[in-house]
Chains A and B, each alone.
Chain A
């Protein structure tokens, strides 16, 4: 499977996801944001970080960069797109995913391992997880508080477009297990066609027992099919 990781000035999880993809046997290429052509890719990853120093709004400037037109074109023709953390913010700024990520409710940068529940395991991104499986994944963000209008929120629930929700170790989804104030504890969402996933947690940080755990591995093996 061929993957491309888009690199912006200020991206800082690009290498991590690159290492993770190669470890999982993806044929990966790193693509600088000023490129106007994308190599043929089955998966495009928008990595985490602080593209353009989070100027204006997180992801706003990166969302208008040259390569993004190509990403949008690829997305519309069915290419799989994964946005992690700042990548999720960028995807909402491009309009590929609806909604937005507001500043964390407690106004603090949160860096910790949290539990999330897999709500939909019937997608290209999540099929190797069990339904309602609880996984432990690192979050590291200042703007992860998912917000959208009521109509979209209902659609997300009704059409099974919520990938992950924050929960506690027992799987309880409530205010206590919500780290950032996200609407309905949402940690990751799909677009209508489920070929785009945006998520705040960092699966690329959870692929090795030695530094964390392997709870992120199944996301990559799901993609490999």
Chain B
């Protein structure tokens, strides 16, 4: 079973990289840009056919290593 995990900085954590990307897009003429937050993306394949169990495994991966819960939020999606 395959999942995607998206990791983003929490709302109140400064994201200087996102800011620079945003400024650059404005500089090259992109209009109507409101805001950008940069994050990380993982594709994870789990050897488990039961959805809930598989999700639990991925959630454990997030909490144990992939995400720093002090500053980051994450979303798990089945793909």
Contact = CB atoms under 8 A, between A and B. Distances in A.
Contacts of B65: 56, 60, 64
B17 A93 contact: no
Interface residues of B, number: 11
A181 B70 contact: no
A102 B20 contact: no
Interface string B38-75: 00000000000000000000000000111010110000
B29 interface: no
Interface class of chain B by DSSP: helix
Contact of B66 (A56, A102, A105, A149): A56
A106 B14 CA distance: 11
A100 B70 contact: yes
A100 B20 CA distance: 22
A181 B65 CA distance: 25
A181 B19 CA distance: 15
A179 B70 CA distance: 22
A57 B68 contact: yes
B16 A147 contact: no
Interface of A: 56-57, 60, 64, 92-93, 98-100, 102-107, 147-149, 181
20 contacts: A56-B65, A92-B70, A99-B70, A100-B68, A100-B70, A100-B71, A102-B13, A103-B16, A103-B17, A105-B16, A106-B16, A107-B16, A107-B17, A107-B20, A147-B13, A147-B70, A147-B71, A148-B70, A149-B70, A181-B16
